[in-house]
């Protein structure tokens, strides 16, 4: 591991108290979890885009660890039924088109019971931003396999091996999303800019935010601590710069690779589509 990739955790800044609901802090999230960093990146991105969180933005989340995020931000938020964040967000957007509508939820919530809602919202290019904290597990309920869990990873619900996971970038591209990106929670310096761009997109914007659950999934599958996880993300990320017509973005170009004894081995990152509806 090169020294340039290491993060000095003692120097990280957390200075967005005014944007957080103080009575809800501390969060329920475990030590080393990606979700705190992801939430801060979102707040930074929304503020840099010029939104008044209290008056102009609505944050909607489903069930799971990520589902708690909507209650931590000083904005109107809804913690809705499992898998129903996107249809609820659609209703909010149609009721008040002037609001900036954000869905902030996990891979299990968005792509298992909520998967059908995702592909049709992207196909219709509804004007909302969907940020998926993709940690490849149902963390809140004990680490069961999710639609993005990798083949041969260890979970309580994969006795032999898991099915092939969804490639969320390919799914979003194929469904017709206007903006599609993938980064990891370790890219906290880049993420606010990417989130800002997604929020300002006219149409359906999607960010596959590769994250980690070191407390449960990681201990079983190659990254036992948060620090190891973050540096693993940075070491294995490979930026892809798509051509204008996106013609070279085949499945093998955007597929995330994982080894349960080492953690991630390849994470293709970047902005894969920029369009307007």
DSSP symbols for 242-255: --TT-TT--HHHH-
Q: Is the pLDDT of residue 3 over 50?
A: no
| Interatomic CA distance for residues 192 and 132, integer angstroms | 15
Is residue 88 a contact partner of residue 63, using CB atoms and an 8 Å limit? no
The rounded Cα 112 to chain-centroid distance in angstroms is 15
Q: Pairing state of beta strands 179-184 and 263-274? A: antiparallel
**In the chain, where the domains are located:** 32-274
For residue 186, name the pLDDT band (cuts at 50, 70, 90): very high
What's the whole-number mean pLDDT along residues 243-249?
Answer: 63
pLDDT tens, residue by residue, 261-277: 888 999 999 999 998 77
pTM (2 d.p.): 0.90
Q: Please give the Cα distance from 271 to 241 (Å, whole number).
A: 7
Class in CATH terms, 32-274: alpha beta
- Does 14 have pLDDT greater than 90? no
Q: How far apart are CA 75 and CA 57, in angstroms?
A: 7
Q: How confident is the model at residue 126 (pLDDT cuts 50, 70, 90)?
A: very high
> Given pLDDT bands bounded at 50, 70 and 90, which one contains residue 252?
low
Which pLDDT score, from 0 to 100, does residue 1 have? 37
Residue 211: which of 189, 194, 186 has the closest Cα? 186
């Amino acid at each position: 591991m090169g020294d340039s990739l290491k993060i000095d955790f003692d120097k990280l800044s957390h200075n967005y108290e005014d944007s957080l609901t103080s009575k809800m802090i501390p969060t329920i999230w475990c030590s080393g979890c990606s979700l705190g960093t992801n939430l801060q990146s979102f707040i930074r991105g929304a503020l840099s885009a010029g939104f008044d969180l209290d008056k102009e933005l609505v944050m909607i989340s489903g069930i799971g660890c990520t589902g708690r995020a909507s209650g931590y931000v000083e904005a109107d938020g809804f913690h809705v039924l499992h898998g129903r964040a996107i249809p609820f967000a659609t209703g909010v957007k149609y009721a008040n088109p002037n609001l900036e509508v954000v869905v902030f939820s996990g891979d299990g919530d968005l792509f298992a019971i909520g998967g059908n809602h995702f592909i049709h919202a992207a196909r219709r290019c509804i004007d909302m931003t969907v940020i998926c904290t993709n940690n490849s597990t149902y963390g809140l309920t004990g680490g069961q396999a999710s639609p993005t869990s990798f083949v041969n990873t260890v979970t309580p619900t994969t006795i032999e091996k898991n099915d092939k996971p969804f490639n969320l970038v390919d799914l979003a591209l194929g469904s017709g999303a206007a903006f599609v990106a993938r980064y990891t929670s370790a890219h906290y310096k880049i993420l606010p800019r990417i989130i800002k761009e997604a929020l300002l997109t006219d149409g359906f914007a999607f960010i596959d935010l590769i994250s980690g659950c070191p407390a449960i999934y990681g201990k079983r599958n190659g990254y036992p601590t948060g620090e190891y996880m973050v540096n693993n993300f940075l070491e294995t990320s490979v930026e892809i710069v798509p051509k204008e017509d996106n013609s070279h973005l085949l499945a093998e170009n955007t597929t995330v690779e994982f080894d349960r004894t080492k953690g991630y081995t390849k994470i293709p990152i970047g902005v894969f589509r920029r369009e307007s509806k």
